[in-house]
Amino acid sequence: MKTYFFAAAFAATFISCQQAAHTSQTGASVSKSPSSPAKAVANHLYMDVHQLEPGKVTYGAVAEAHAKDLAVQGKYNAHFLRYWVDEAKGRVYCLSSAPGIASIRKTHAEAHGLLPDEIYPVTEGMEAALTGGKYLFLDVHELGAGKVTAQDVAAAHQKDLASQQKYGVNFINYWVSEKEGRVLCLSEAADSTAIIKTHQEAHGLLPAYVVQVKQGE
């Protein structure tokens, strides 16, 4: 009964993320309020994370909920950009642009009622193209609040790019939360070991964990 509840609830839920304009370094964009078209609203990038139980979420269920968030997001000046589903661990990561955390919560609350476990501001790097033909991974570094800056991660990312070819990895992008001391890296690789080896050779900063994900937009 519990398994059915989670599956049914999530099927009626969750993220709908689509491409919207956003800057790569500041994490900010500008949107217009639907109630006042001439008024510009400054948006910032956020990552929100839903943590369900392993095996209680599927990529298909997340995709089916796409229209629910899209139908509501404009009301709160939010723009859901992309999402990543870790079916094995039961986690969903979603990147969005909004004036603040409250906008994201209100969108989810009205669209389907299931709120994320975490929402934190992020900045991102320069995105590279997907090559296809390999698996997609998110690796997460937990460095501690106040112990990492966007500049530090940009420098480390350049070292990753210099070493990635040796291990057949393609680093797509990264997101930094200075407040949380967290870094998320998105990459393509044959397996998670290749990602760890690249990080180890490039700068020695190993992720707390690496998960295989499916991406939606």
The DSSP-derived string for 28-42 is: EEEEEETTEEEEEEE
Cβ–Cβ under 8 Å, residues 85 and 62: yes
pLDDT score of 1: 38
pLDDT score of 41: 57
Q: Does domain 126-216 sit in CATH 3.30.300.30?
A: no
- How far apart CA 59 and CA 17 sit, in angstroms, is 13
Tokens of 194: 């290749």
Query: What's domain 2-121's superfamily in CATH?
Result: ORF SCO4226, nickel-binding ferredoxin-like monomer (3.30.70.3090)
Q: Which helix (H) or strand (E) holds 94?
A: strand 91-98
Q: Report CA-CA distances (Å) from 35 to 20, 31, 32, 40, 78.
A: 19, 12, 9, 11, 14
- On the question of a common fold for 2-121 and 126-216, the answer reads yes
- Average pLDDT over the chain reads 84
pLDDT score of 113: 84
pLDDT score of 94: 93
DSSP 8-state code for residue 76: G
Show contacts of 38-42: CB within 8 Å, 24+ apart.
Answer: 41/77, 41/99, 42/99
44: closest CA among 102, 106, 2? Answer: 102
73: closest CA among 30, 37, 33, 39? Answer: 33
The model's pTM = 0.81
Spell out the domain ranges in the chain.
Answer: 2-121, 126-216
Cβ–Cβ under 8 Å, residues 157 and 175: no
The per-residue pLDDT for range 94-122, each reduced to its tens digit, is 999 999 999 999 998 899 888 899 999 99
- How far apart CA 77 and CA 85 sit, in angstroms, is 24
Q: Which residues of the chain have pLDDT under 50?
A: 1-26, 28-40
Residue 95 φ/ψ region, left for φ over 0, alpha for ψ in the -120 to 50 degree band, beta for the rest: beta
- One-letter identity of residue 40: A
